[in-house]
Amino acid sequence: MAKPARTIEVQALVEELQAGCERSFGHARSMPPGVYTSPEFLSLEERDIFQHEWLCVGRASALKTPGDYLTAHIGAQPIVVLRDEQMQLKAMSNVCLHRMSVLLEGRGNVRRIICPYHAWNYSLDGELRGAPLMDRQEGFCKESYRLPAVRCEEWQGWLYVTLDANAPPVHTQLASIPAWQDEAHVEENRRLYRQKFATVVPMLREVLDVEVPAGAFYLWPRVTDDERFTRGLYAEQHVTVLPGSYLARAVDGHNPGQGRVRISLVASVEDCIEAAGRIRRYALRRSP
C-alpha cells in the first residue's frame, strides 16, 4: 500500500531533524518541539518505526513459570508476552476477538486468558477455548479463532517484539553489540579509525568532495552520478564502493543518498591506503 504523502509541516520537522543529525556532536541542538506535539509526526513514527522495528519490552527472567505474562503496546497495538505450558515464549495480540476489549493488564500469572467483558477465554497459545452463549450461534466454530501471534525473540535475556513479519532477527541486527561491550576493543577500534580517516581523507580530498564524518565508519564523498562512479571504479580499479542511492530510501521523490558513494574503511590501514590511491587515480582520470 502506498504511503500517505507527508504534510508540509511534518516534512519540515523531518528535514529539521535530519539537519540536526548532520551537526557535529559539539554543535548538537534539541529536537524541534513539533516532534513531541504533532499528531501527524506521531502517525509517521508509528507507521515507519513502530510497525517495523524490534522493541524491547522487558526481561525474560520476569516470566519464570507457565502463565507468567507481561503486557505492552507496540504503537497503538496492545500485546501480551507470556510463557506457555511448555515454557516457550509467546507473544500475541492482547485484544479480544469478540468486541475488542483489552484482555490482560500489567503483569501477572494466568492459567487461561479470560476476557473481562463477556468471558471469552483463550489458552496460553492464544486458541479460543470458550465463548459463552456462542453455542446458540449456528455455524460458530470456536476452533477457527486464535489471537494473532506477534513475533517475539529473546536476546541476551531481553524480550523483543515486532509487528513486522520480515524484520531480520534481533540477534542479526544486534550482532555487533557484544564487541562494543569490550572496552579495549572499542578503544583500539577508535584509534584505528582515527588513523584511517587521518590518512585516507587527505588523499581523497584532492580529487573528491569528502569530509571526516562526525561519527561513522564510512566516508560519503559527493560524485556526479553515484551508480556510474561505482561501476566505473570497479571496472577500472577493482575497488568496491556502494552507490548512496542504493542505500537510502527515496522519500517524496528525493533520495538523500543520490550523488554520494559510501566508502567503507573496514579493511586494514594498509588496504585502505591502497584502495584510496586507486580511487584517487580513478577520480583524477574522470575529472575534466
Contacting residues toward ligand FES, per CB under 6 A: 96, 98-99, 101, 115, 117-120
Nearer to ligand FES, 117 or 217 (CB): 117
Separation between Cα atoms, residue 263 and residue 266, nearest integer Å: 9
Separation between Cα atoms, residue 272 and residue 264, nearest integer Å: 9
For the bound state, the minimum distance from the C-beta of residue 79 to ligand FES, rounded and expressed in Å, comes to 16
**Beta pairing partners, 261:** 243
Nearer to ligand FES, 108 or 116 (CB): 116
For the bound state, the minimum distance from the C-beta of residue 80 to ligand FES, rounded and expressed in Å, comes to 14
For the bound state, the minimum distance from the C-beta of residue 95 to ligand FES, rounded and expressed in Å, comes to 9
Nearer to ligand FES, 114 or 212 (CB): 114
Q: Which pairing describes strands 77-83 and 242-243: parallel, antiparallel, or unpaired?
A: unpaired
For the bound state, the minimum distance from the C-beta of residue 142 to ligand FES, rounded and expressed in Å, comes to 12
The DSSP string of the chain is: -PPPPPPHHHHHHHHHHHHHHTS-GGG--PPPTHHHH-HHHHHHHIIIIITTS-EEEEEGGG--STTEEEEEEETTEEEEEEE-TTS-EEEEE-B-TTT--B---SEEE-SSEE-TTT--EE-TTSBEEE-TTGGGSTT--GGG-BPPB-EEEEETTEEEEES-TTSPPHHHHTTTHHHHT-HHHHHHHHHHHHHHHHHHHHHHHTTSB----SS-SEE--B-S-HHHHHHHHHHHH----EEHHHHS--BTTB-TTTTBEEEE--S-HHHHHHHHHHHHHHHHHH--
Nearer to ligand FES, 96 or 276 (CB): 96
Nearer to ligand FES, 147 or 279 (CB): 147
For the bound state, the minimum distance from the C-beta of residue 101 to ligand FES, rounded and expressed in Å, comes to 4
For the bound state, the minimum distance from the C-beta of residue 127 to ligand FES, rounded and expressed in Å, comes to 15
Nearer to ligand FES, 142 or 205 (CB): 142
Cα end-to-end distance, the chain, whole Å? 45
Separation between Cα atoms, residue 282 and residue 288, nearest integer Å: 12
For the bound state, the minimum distance from the C-beta of residue 143 to ligand FES, rounded and expressed in Å, comes to 17
Nearer to ligand FES, 41 or 120 (CB): 120
Nearer to ligand FES, 11 or 101 (CB): 101
For the bound state, the minimum distance from the C-beta of residue 116 to ligand FES, rounded and expressed in Å, comes to 8
Separation between Cα atoms, residue 57 and residue 160, nearest integer Å: 6
